[in-house]
Structure 1
């Protein structure tokens, strides 16, 4: 995530902000610029961008920004749509008559927008359900209403379902603890499920399928049987020698989705560190130094990993100083690094085509 500033006063602002705390300018994200812009009121319902790259263009707020307060994206003033590109991907929202669901909806949309920002930065195309009714990307945010049929977070031909309960921090942390997971976040869910979507778009039926099977296994293995076996027997004791997580051992599809999600995590965090000019200067001369500021989209995989390892040292050391668990509770065995390299190659080729 890049660093953003208010175009009116220069104040540091963030991706989720709707108002500059210094000058009180309206803020909004402009997808075509990939920038947070400050705005000034123009005609009724229209806002003039103060971002220099917008050249005074007029915009309107997404309906979910102006009315529902769960978004901060903008559309061109002459756009006939009322929802922004992100909100149009949401097919089902939570029942807002239920307490806390508006907060949970806001958190879900916030995590989704961060995913879309990263996918866009990587040059990965997204087709909505309007373009591809059968396999286009869509999101359903559903809640448990029948104890006998709980909502399961998952993916089905481009339709991603998120259990609204995952937006409840206490619930999510309890599940993480019960499942003995080192990491469980809303953004992590979105990254993981997007991996299933891009497997269909980028791997299935392509020349990538053979090298995929060499690394992840045969995805034709029965998924239902694999799921039952995993929850019955758990992961092999040596799972961390070849997979990024225990759950990744369940089936090749899940191994791919977990690895994909981890790659997005790496490039997102590195992009943020680059935007902030972070430099690691350890005392020992032979230790790695985080001094290369190459943008993520221009970096080779070897360069990404060279920058990643020292950054994780910083993340974990800072968290320990705060009395918090490690910010990066993972180890990357050589086979995992090879899988991450494969994801990098697939994305690089897909990006080159867009």
Structure 2
């Protein structure tokens, strides 16, 4: 914790100039009436930036439903002369603000309009708005600004570096063919260990799952606690599949989990049917008992039984739990990579 507040240690403009570019006729805040236009813009960018998955409309809707986001101040939509959405800037300060402040810059430019300097102007606005938002919090907590970019998106990486962010952490997408043999793995038991049951996720365990997630990820890079509102958006959303999500339960407590979701829109661009494993974790006091491979393989077997062809996940390449090595041993193979660029304040 700093002795000085963000208002004292961060230099932010009082007034932020809108981007200026001849290809963009109008810049204005986004509203919930723009959800379809933003989804079209995001998916056009997805097909170029990471052609293995698409931004779902539901994710765009959350921008206008989340209590910690003010779209009137934290979004900026660029329209061409025909009213087509060609650029979007969005700033999000993570809702968990007890120990650290994390802010994310989420800009998109339509592929047809790239290479003209729009992204540079948009990122400048996002960065200045983020600095302003951190100053307004007037907090002594350490703060960090994040931009995530695909390894192949050198333009986005260079723009972020020009704003003072530096490449800090790499992530790998890994894919497993469910037609391959799935091993049967037994948890490691010690004398006096309480009984641990492996069960499918059930909505009655929502809060227990949130607490387990927060415990398991406390020592993970870039991770903050997930508050109830954000957790509800995830577990009550349209994509989580309880039948493809597995828990290790000790009494009323969840001590390990592998939660899977299915977005059928992704299948067309992937070329195969899949489950995406959103979260895998083990509470810190139950690590070393082979619970992670137990719940993962339970998920893999359930996905195969559901007729799905592959399982996909993303992993921090420097995970403190050695997760990337574990996934390799379980048959996952790396495909794409992305990087987090960060500025600390």
TM-score range, shorter chain: under 0.3
Q: Hey, which of these two has a bigger chunk of helix by percent?
A: 1
In the superposition, the TM-score normalised over structure 1's length comes to: 0.26
- Between the two structures, name the one with larger relative contact order (CA 8 Å, sep ≥ 6): 2
Give the structure-2-normalised TM-score. Answer: 0.27
Structure with bigger strand share is 2
